[in-house]
A and B are shown apart, each in its own frame.
Chain A
Amino acid sequence: MLAMVQESLSWLREWAESNPGTFLDKYSLVMAEVARIEGRHLDAIHLYEQAVRTARENGLVQNEAIANELAAKFYFSLHNETSAYAYLRNASYCYLRWGAIGKVRQLERQHPQLKEQDKTRGPTSTIDAAVEHLDLGILIKVSQAVSSEIVLEKLIDTLMRTAIEHAGAERGLLILRRGEQQQIQSEATTSQGGIVVSLQESSISEESIPESILLYAMRTRENVVLSDASVQHPFSADPYILRQHARSVLCLPLINQGQVTGLLYLENNLAPNVFTSSRVAVLKMLASQAAISLENTRLYSDLQEREAKIRRLVDGNIIGIFIWNLKGEIIEANEAFLQIVGYKREDFVSRHIGWVDLTPPELRELDERAIAELKATGIAQPFQKEYFREDGTRVPVLVGCALFKLGGNEGVAFVLDLREQKRGEEELRKAQTELAHVARITTLGELSASIAHEISQPLGAVGNHASACLRWLNAQNLEEARRSATLVVEKVHRAGEIISRIRALAAKTPPQTDWLDINLTIGEVVALAGSELQRNHVSLRTVLADDLPSVRGDRIQLKQVLLNLIINAVEAMSRKTEGLREIQVSSQKVTEIASVSNESALHYEATGQVDSTHVLIAVQDSGPGLDPGRVEQIFDAFCTTKPQGLGMGLAISRSIVEAHGGCLWASNTGQGAVFRFALPVRDGRKQ
C-alpha cells in the first residue's frame, strides 16, 4: 500500500515542483503523513509545518485546516498536548473561515478543552470566538446600535464604526444608491487615534475602490471575499487592487426587499485572511440590518424634506391656508389667512372661533355643499364665498378644500383674498353702468334736442306771426292782420307735418313678435339683473305659475319692461338701511272681467281654467312704496322720483305693454310697491 502511495507521490512531487502554489501544500502533507507512518518524527514535524504554511500562503484554507488537524492528531499520538491544542485551534479557526461550521462543532465536541480555552480569551476579538458566541453577542450589539439610529448621518457613523471595529478592517466605504447612480456616502479609516468616519459624498472612481468587485457584487447580489488579493484571483486585473496592493477585501451588497440599496466595502492592506467567514456572517447581518435602517432613515429624511416643503408652502403666506375639522374648528392657520380675516391665531383656540362663525348665515349653504363634495370625493373645488372679518366687515374669498384622507374629518383649506379683484370688478361695473347711462341720456338727449329744434322753429314762427297779428289788429291794419293769421295757420300745419314725419320714422321699426313663454323671459331678465341685485344686496324670488299659455310679443321689448321694473325696484330700496331688500317676481293666469279702460287689478281675477284671457306679471318690492297722490303721474314722460332719472322708463314701459294689447299699472301693497302688467293670451295686438 505504501508502494501505491509512493507512486502517486512521485506524480504529486512533479506537480509540486512545476506548480508549488497549488500542489506544494498537498505534497508536503502527504509527505508528512508518510514520515509519521514511517516513524520519522522530526521529518513529520517539519513537513506538517510546511504544509500548513504553504496552504495559508496560497489561500487554501481547507488544506490549511486539514494540515492543522492532522498535525494536531500527530502531536496527540506523541502525548504532546500543548502543540496538539495549538494545531487544533488553528484547524478550528480555518474550518470556521472556510464555513465548515459542522466540522468546528465536531472538533469542539471531541476536544472540550478547545472550547473552554476560547472563552478565557474574552469577547473583544471575534477571531477565535465560537460560532454560538458570534450568533448572539455581536449581532445583538450591532443590530441595537444600528436600529436605534434614525438620523441618517448618525446611522452611517455607527454602521461604519461597527463594521470596521468588528471586521478588523483598515478602511471602509459605504456606497448607497442615489436614483440610478451609486455614490460613496461615507468613508471610514483607522488611524492612531481610532476610527475616523467622514460623511462626504463623492462619486465612485477607480481611485477609491475596485470597481470590478463592486459591479460583480451588485450584479450577483453575492458577497465578494478576497482573503489575499495579492495572489491570483478573478479581480487581479482591477487597477485599484494592483495599485493599492490590497490584501483582504470584502464587498457586501445591502439588500432590502430584494433591491440592492447599496454596498459595504471593507479592506485591509496589511494582513490577508482578515475577513473570516464568522466575520462575514456578522457583517452580513449588519449589512441587511443597515439596509433596512438606511431605507428607513432615507424615508425619514425624505419626510423631513417634504415636511419642510409643506412648511414653506404654508409659511410662504402667498395664499391663506388653514387646517380645519368637520366639527367647525380651525386647528391651524397661516399668517396670510389671519390677515384676510383679521383674527389672531389664539382667537381660534381661546375664543373658539371656527370656520362656521366666519361664514355669513346666508352663505352656510355654500359650505354645506362643499362639505358634501368633500365627503364624496375628498376635495371641494374652489368656490366663491365671503368671510366675516374680526371687525364685522365681510371679505370676498375663493376657497378650495381637501380632506387629509377620504372618510376622515380633518382637512386643509386654501383661501384667496378677492377684495382687490372685486374692487376692480365693481369699478368696471360702475364704469359700464355710467357709460350705459350716459349713452342712453346722450341718445335720448340728442333725439329730443333734434325733435325740439324741429318743432320749435315753426312754433316760434307761429308765435311771432300771432303776436304780429294782434298788433296789426290793435293798429286796425286788417290787411296785415289777415296776412299774419294766414301765416299762423300755414305754420301750424307745417309743425303738424313734422310731428307725423317723426311718428312715421319711429313706425319704421315694428316690434318683432313671437310666441313666447313669459316665464323664460322672466328667467333671462333675472339673470341679467343678477349683478345689480347682488351689488345692492337685494334678494329676488320668483313665484311662477307653471301652466302659463304662451303670449305673443316682442321678446326684447318685454325684457326691457321687466328689467325696467326690477331696476326701479332695486333703486327704490337702495336707500333702505333696515329690513330685508326683497323683490318678488310672479306670473299667473288671469281672466279679464271688465273693460281695461280704467287699468286696475280689480278687473282681473286669478283663474285656473283654460279660458284665461291674460297672463299677469307682478314685480313687487319691499321699498318705501309710492306716493299715493302720484301713482298715475309716474307713468307720465319726464316724471321722475330719482335724482338721475330721465322719467322715461315707466312711460316707455307702459307704451310697450299697451302696444302688446295689455296694460301696466302700479299700487302699494303695504310693504312696498307693486307693478303689474297683463298681456293678452291670444294675439291682442292693437292693429
Chain B
Amino acid sequence: MIATNATVFVVDDDAAMRDSLRDLIRSVGLRVELFDSAQDFLRSERLDVPGCLVLDVRMPGQSGLDLQRRLNEAGVAIPIIFITGHGDVLMGVHAMKAGALEFLTKPFRDQDLLDAIQQALDRDCAAREGRAATEAIHRRFASLTSREREVMTRVVGGLLNKQIAAELGTSENTVKTHRHQVMEKMGAKSLPELVRMADRLGSLITKS
C-alpha cells in the first residue's frame, strides 16, 4: 500500500512532456514534483517521503545517466524509471545495470508508465520500512552494556550459557541474568528473532 504522501519526481527538459506527465500522474492521485534539469533536481530540498524518479535520458547539461550515477555515489536510494525518445539498447543496458527499475521508450503507453511508477513506489516503501527497522535494532543494540554485547555475540554464535561463563570467566548465573537483559532490551521474543536481528547488525556485532 502506497503512503499518501508518496511523491513522483519528474526530470525532463521538454516542458510539454513534463506538464503532460504531471497531468497523467496526478490523475491517478499521486503527488508530482517537476524539475527541468538534473542540476535542478540535485539542488532541490526534498521532503524525506516515499517516492520515485521519472528521468529523461537525453537532456542538455547532465544526462539522466549522469544523474543516476551521482545519486548512486551519494547513497541516495530512489527507484528510477528512465524514459527516452531514442530506443538505445546500449543505454538501456547501462541504466538497468546501474540499478534502474524500468526503461521506457517514447511513445510509451500511459499504463506502462503508471505501472512502473506503482512498482517503484512499492519498492521504495518497502526499502524505507526495512531501513527504519534496521535503525531501531541499531538503537537498541547501542543501549546494551559492553558485557551484555559480549553475551549477545556468544548467544547468537550458538554457545551454551555454561560455555559463555567459562569464556568470560564468570558464573553461569551471571550469564543467565545478562542474557535476560539482552532479550529484554533488544525486544526479542525468541532466540531465532535475536539471531535475525544480529544478522541485520552485520559486522557491528562481530566487532564487539
Contact = CB atoms under 8 A, between A and B. Distances in A.
Most buried by B among A452, A453, A459, A464: A464
Contacts of B108: 460
Interface in B23-76: 23-24, 26-28
A78 B207 CA distance: 171
Contact of B23 (A453, A458, A464, A475): A464
Nearest to A457: B14
A467 B27 contact: yes
A471 B19 contact: no
Contact of B24 (A453, A457, A459, A464): A464
A352 interface: no
B89 interface: no
The size class of the interface chain B forms with chain A is 10 to 19
For the residues of B in contact with A, the DSSP-based class is helix
Most buried by A among B21, B23, B108: B23
Nearest to A491: B16
B94 interface: no
B86 interface: yes
B110 interface: yes
B26 A468 contact: yes
A453 B17 CA distance: 12
B106 interface: yes
A461 interface: yes
A467 B24 contact: yes
A456 B27 contact: no
Nearest to A484: B23
A494 B27 contact: no
A480 B24 CA distance: 11
B23 A487 contact: yes
Nearest to A465: B20
A449 interface: yes
B16 A461 contact: yes
A328 interface: no
A449 B86 contact: yes
A47 to B, nearest CB: 138
B16 A463 contact: no
Contacts of A469: 27
Contacts of B192: none
Nearest to B23: A468
A471 B16 contact: no
B169 interface: no
A475 B27 contact: yes
A472 interface: yes
B202 interface: no
A487 B18 CA distance: 12
A461 B19 contact: yes
B17 A465 contact: no
B20 A461 contact: yes
B16 A457 contact: yes
The size class of the interface chain A forms with chain B is 20 to 34
A169 B41 CA distance: 126
A472 B19 CA distance: 15
B85 A456 contact: yes
Contacts of A460: 17, 20, 85, 106-108
Contacts of A453: 85-86
B65 to A, nearest CB: 18
A589 to B, nearest CB: 51
B85 A464 contact: no
B26 A459 contact: no
Nearest to A470: B27
A469 B14 CA distance: 20
A478 B110 CA distance: 20
A458 B85 CA distance: 11
Contacts of A456: 85, 106-107
B29 to A, nearest CB: 8
A498 to B, nearest CB: 11
Contacts of A449: 86
A461 B26 contact: no
Nearest to B107: A460
B34 to A, nearest CB: 13
Contacts of B28: 471
Most buried by A among B16, B21, B86, B108: B16
Contacts of B14: 457, 461
Contacts of B24: 464-465, 467-468, 471
Nearest to B58: A453
Contacts of A472: 27
Contacts of B23: 464-465, 468, 480, 483-484, 487
A493 to B, nearest CB: 11
Interface string A477-495: 0001001100100010010
Most buried by B among A457, A458, A483: A457
A400 to B, nearest CB: 57
A453 B111 CA distance: 22
A465 B20 CA distance: 5
A114 B23 CA distance: 157
Contacts of B111: 467
Interface string B106-118: 1110110000000
B17 A468 contact: no
A456 B14 CA distance: 12
A472 B27 CA distance: 6
Interface string B139-155: 00000000000000000
A464 B110 contact: yes
A459 B27 CA distance: 19
Most buried by B among A449, A461, A465: A461
B87 to A, nearest CB: 10
A494 to B, nearest CB: 7
Interface in A207-232: none
Interface string A606-649: 00000000000000000000000000000000000000000000
A462 B85 CA distance: 15
Nearest to B108: A460
Contacts of B16: 457-458, 461, 491, 494
A475 B29 CA distance: 10
A452 B87 CA distance: 12
A471 B27 CA distance: 6
Contacts of B85: 452-453, 456-457, 460
Nearest to A483: B23
Contacts of A494: 16
Most buried by B among A467, A480, A491: A467
A570 B14 CA distance: 47
The 6 closest A-B pairs by CB, nearest first: A464-B20, A467-B110, A471-B27, A461-B20, A468-B23, A468-B27
24 contacts: A456-B106, A456-B107, A457-B14, A457-B16, A457-B106, A458-B16, A459-B107, A460-B17, A460-B20, A460-B107, A461-B19, A463-B20, A464-B24, A465-B23, A467-B24, A468-B20, A468-B23, A468-B24, A471-B24, A472-B27, A480-B23, A480-B27, A484-B27, A491-B20
Given A460-B20, A484-B23, 15 more contacts: A452-B85, A453-B86, A460-B106, A460-B108, A461-B17, A463-B20, A465-B23, A467-B24, A467-B110, A468-B20, A468-B23, A471-B24, A471-B27, A472-B27, A484-B27
Interface of A: 449, 452-453, 456-465, 467-469, 471-472, 475, 480, 483-484, 487, 491, 494
